[in-house]
Amino acid sequence: MNRRELLAQGMGMSSMAGVAALWQASEAFAGEASKASAAPAAGLSKVIETSSRCVTTGLICIRHCQKEILDGNKMMAECLQSVLELVSACETLTKLAAFESAYAKDFAKLTAKICADCGKICEKHAKHMEACKKCMEACRECEKACLAA
């Protein structure tokens, strides 16, 4: 084995040892972090849960509205605009609540209004469109949780 091969092999070994040390350190940190309180502040866990659900059902509703509009159903344009706003607000709220931001509760009040408006618009289509029905239900749940926060 020449000097280059020996050096390359040595570097490979030290790199692997470094990776192993980093892995062990990250495992230890993760263990300590899991011992810390992972639960969000009072009232915010329900906000996180319901706003996350709103994002999921909203994304499905967006796709549904897009398909309807492409098929010529212009009535869905208002619904699409509303649900785009809803998803944006609920994504932000989920993050603020998860981070226990000082702005989370104030933003929850604004999001409650956005949820109420989207729920009213979805209600127009809820009887004949499942995506709108589920979005409406998620909006109403999220609105209640936001007002209670």
Distance from C-alpha of 22 to C-alpha of 32, rounded to nearest angstrom: 15
Average pLDDT, the chain: 83
Distance from C-alpha of 149 to C-alpha of 127, rounded to nearest angstrom: 30
Specify the pLDDT at position 22: 42
- Which residues have C-beta within 8 Å of that of residue 54, sequence separation ≥ 6? 86, 87, 90, 115, 135, 138, 139, 141, 142
Specify the pLDDT at position 4: 54
Other beta carbons within 10 Å of 91? 16
Q: Give the distance, in angstroms, between the CA of residue 113 and the centroid of all CA atoms in the same chain.
A: 19
- Which residues have C-beta within 8 Å of that of residue 128, sequence separation ≥ 6? none
H helix count then E strand count, the chain: 5, 0
Specify the pLDDT at position 41: 67
- 28: pLDDT strictly greater than 80: no
pLDDT tens digits, 49-99: 999 999 999 999 999 999 999 999 999 999 999 999 999 999 999 999 999
Q: Give the distance, in angstroms, between the CA of residue 142 and the centroid of all CA atoms in the same chain.
A: 13
